[in-house]
A and B are shown apart, each in its own frame.
Chain A
Amino acid sequence: MIESPSITPPQAAVPRGATLRSGLQANPLLAVGGALVLLIVLVAIFAPLLAPWAGDAGTATHPFDVLHAPSASHLFGTDQVGRDILSRVLFGARVSPLIAAVVLVIACAVGVPLGVVAGFAGGWVDEAIMRVTDVFLAFPPLLLALALAAVLPASLTSVTIAIAATWWPWYTRLIRGQAASVAGRPYVEACRALGISRLRIIFRHILPNSVTPLLVQVSLDVGGVILTASALSFLGLGAQDPVPDWGLMIAEGQSYFTPDWWLVTFPGLAILLTAFAFNLLGDGLRDLLDPKRSFLR
């Protein structure tokens, strides 16, 4: 008649293997974020089909259509050389999200092995690697990337290198913590005692344990990288005309901003929407997969 009582309310007891559906119900923000990210990816893929004036993403100029306000034929208006802003905004989905993907791949490729080595080797190797990451993390995120991008020639490649070169230490620190905690567990000690090779231990035990926190962190970082890349482009350190980069479009539109507000407004909305979508997704994934992780990395 009476079931076993408990202080813990049943609704708080989300099982570890919570299904995707129940996760989405509990966290509508995750669902919204996921849907928006999907939309952005689709726009990036199908930009040539969606853009009403696909050529305007490139070198095209239309001297007679300069600075037209939004209308039926140009929903977002036209820019200072007459290009359709809607088309450029749609093609922009191929620029900074791609930079973010490349940056995060490079940062993981550098940061993860270093973290594994530091956490697994311990001793002076660990000390040396972690002191170097400490120094990199002593710069506020955007700052070092900005200094690097400023001394390198202005291009998308420079921006990608500059951000990746300053982003890897976050992953080294994250993975090192995971690796060190796993390396100390009895079953890993047992593996060592049994003479199982280090590489095998790393691939069988340490990396699988780090996948979830890494995935959560990467998804949380996409928005940050997009904002950083846009900021560098806005400062003129990244993409150069005619690349349809959102940050660059804002920088170029700035001089025509009053009264031609549409030059700045729509690319900015695109950055905001993209960063928002990825942050919603990352935040929701953290809640779902890794609720103990803090906001301060």
Chain B
Amino acid sequence: MTGRLAISDLEISFGSRRVVAITDLLLDHGEIVGLAGESGSGKSMTTLAVLGLAHTVGATVSGSIKLDGQELTGLAPEALREIRGRRIAAIFQSPSTAFSPVYRVGSVLTKAVRLHGATKSEAADRAAEAMRQVLLSPDLMRRYPSQLSGGQLQRVAIAVAVALRAEILLADEPTSALDVTVQAEVLDLLRELRDSSGMSILFISHDLAVVAELCDRVAVMRQGLIVEQGPASQVLSAPADPYTAELLESVPKLASTQ
């Protein structure tokens, strides 16, 4: 349940307009890497590109995205579909809209597991097991999204990744829409997941305080470019790039209260 994602010379553009250019970004086995930057800096486009879904919003992708040495760009749609969800899972910013309002959340969960080759009973078992692993009662699978809180929904979203035994989790602003206390619970959960199963996590956030708390390494993105990357402690305590320093100054000093 662990994987290694290596991005190099990645370029994402809309027509002739280039919005992301990443020379080099690595997510190693069992690592949590933070991708930080203000909104609109190209973080979410990078997620879509790794998932092979950039085309659905009309963007084109060039360069290299390697999963354990296997090149993903230019892979056939069917091959990509088997990797999506199964090996690379993703959770998104607003958990309340991440689930279809007309399906029970458990139905999406088990459907996804079955899609990637489990039998019906196997899928039900794995779904229930995953729910327990994210500290939710499997009974909640019978609920509709409107009957769950944001924090619960985000846990269900993580449970999907757990049930699929994903090697890599792309977490795109997973805590931004949540209250502070719930936020802390979700962060704990992600950390524990990495510790117990070795899942590699690309944690995308505009919130440097959260990134500092969770991540091993940090890459700071600005206008589609990575301006700085390195160990979290180093980048956040002694930023080399003026933009990182600027971002840091806008963060309320959480570290001192901890």
Q: Which residues of A contact B (CB under 8 A)?
A: 1-12
**CA of A37 to CA of B57, assembled, Å:** 36
Contact call A4/B223, Cβ cutoff below 8 A? yes
Stretch at the interface among B12-20, B124-132, B249-257: B12-20
Residues of A within 8 A of B17 (CB): 3, 10
Q: From residue 17 to 57 of chain B, which have CB atoms closer than 8 A to chain A?
A: 17-21, 40-42, 44-45, 48, 57
From A5, A6, A7, residue with most partner B Cβ within 10 Å: A5
Contact call B57/A9, Cβ cutoff below 8 A? yes
Contact call B19/A2, Cβ cutoff below 8 A? yes
**CA of A12 to CA of B15, assembled, Å:** 13
Chain A's closest residue to B44 (CB) is: A7
B224 contacts A by Cβ under 8 Å: yes
Knowing A7-B44, A7-B45, say if A2 contacts B18 (CB, 8 Å).
yes
Q: Which residues of B contact A (CB under 8 A)?
A: 12, 14-15, 17-21, 40-42, 44-45, 48, 57-59, 223-225
Query: Smallest distance from the beta carbon of B1 to chain A beta carbons, Å?
Result: 30
Q: Choose one: B21, B40, B58, B59; the contact of A4 (CB below 8 Å).
A: B40
Q: Choose one: A6, A11, A12; the contact of B19 (CB below 8 Å).
A: A6
Contact call A3/B18, Cβ cutoff below 8 A? yes
Residues of B within 8 A of A11 (CB): 58
* Chain A interface SS verdict (over half): loop
Contact call A2/B223, Cβ cutoff below 8 A? yes
Knowing A2-B19, A5-B19, say if A10 contacts B14 (CB, 8 Å).
yes
Residues of B within 8 A of A2 (CB): 18-21, 223-225
Knowing A11-B58, A12-B58, say if A6 contacts B18 (CB, 8 Å).
no
Contact call B15/A5, Cβ cutoff below 8 A? no
Knowing A2-B223, A2-B224, A2-B225, say if A7 contacts B15 (CB, 8 Å).
no
Residues of A within 8 A of B19 (CB): 2-6
**What would 9 more interface pairs be, CB under 8 Å, given A6-B40, A10-B17, A10-B58?**
A2-B224, A3-B17, A3-B19, A4-B223, A5-B12, A5-B40, A7-B45, A9-B14, A11-B58
**CA of A8 to CA of B15, assembled, Å:** 13
Chain B's closest residue to A6 (CB) is: B40
**CA of A7 to CA of B44, assembled, Å:** 8
**CA of A11 to CA of B15, assembled, Å:** 10
Knowing A3-B17, A4-B40, say if A9 contacts B59 (CB, 8 Å).
yes
**CA of A10 to CA of B17, assembled, Å:** 9
Contact call A9/B20, Cβ cutoff below 8 A? no
Chain B's closest residue to A3 (CB) is: B17
Query: Smallest distance from the beta carbon of B61 to chain A beta carbons, Å?
Result: 13
Knowing A10-B14, A10-B15, A10-B17, say if A5 contacts B42 (CB, 8 Å).
yes
Chain A's closest residue to B15 (CB) is: A10
Query: Smallest distance from the beta carbon of B13 to chain A beta carbons, Å?
Result: 9
From A3, A7, A9, A12, residue with most partner B Cβ within 10 Å: A7
From B14, B15, B18, B59, residue with most partner A Cβ within 10 Å: B14
**CA of A9 to CA of B19, assembled, Å:** 11
**CA of A1 to CA of B48, assembled, Å:** 22
Query: Smallest distance from the beta carbon of A11 to chain B beta carbons, Å?
Result: 7
**CA of A10 to CA of B48, assembled, Å:** 17
**CA of A38 to CA of B40, assembled, Å:** 46
Residues of B within 8 A of A3 (CB): 17-19, 223
Contact call B223/A7, Cβ cutoff below 8 A? no
Residues of A within 8 A of B15 (CB): 10
Knowing A10-B14, A10-B15, A10-B17, say if A5 contacts B57 (CB, 8 Å).
no
Chain B's closest residue to A9 (CB) is: B58
Chain B's closest residue to A8 (CB) is: B57
Residues of A within 8 A of B40 (CB): 4-6
Chain B's closest residue to A11 (CB) is: B58
Query: Smallest distance from the beta carbon of B36 to chain A beta carbons, Å?
Result: 15
Residues of B within 8 A of A5 (CB): 12, 19-20, 40-42, 45, 223-224
Residues of A within 8 A of B18 (CB): 1-3
Residues of B within 8 A of A7 (CB): 44-45, 48, 57
**CA of A7 to CA of B47, assembled, Å:** 11
**CA of A92 to CA of B17, assembled, Å:** 54
**CA of A10 to CA of B14, assembled, Å:** 7
**CA of A140 to CA of B127, assembled, Å:** 48
Chain A's closest residue to B222 (CB) is: A2
Q: List 12 A-B contacts (CB under 8 A).
A: A2-B19, A2-B20, A2-B223, A3-B19, A5-B42, A6-B19, A7-B44, A7-B48, A7-B57, A9-B57, A10-B14, A11-B58
Chain A's closest residue to B21 (CB) is: A2
Residues of B within 8 A of A9 (CB): 14, 57-59
Residues of B within 8 A of A10 (CB): 14-15, 17, 58
Residues of A within 8 A of B42 (CB): 5
**CA of A7 to CA of B59, assembled, Å:** 9
From A2, A3, A11, residue with most partner B Cβ within 10 Å: A2
**CA of A12 to CA of B59, assembled, Å:** 12
Chain A's closest residue to B48 (CB) is: A7
**CA of A173 to CA of B102, assembled, Å:** 29
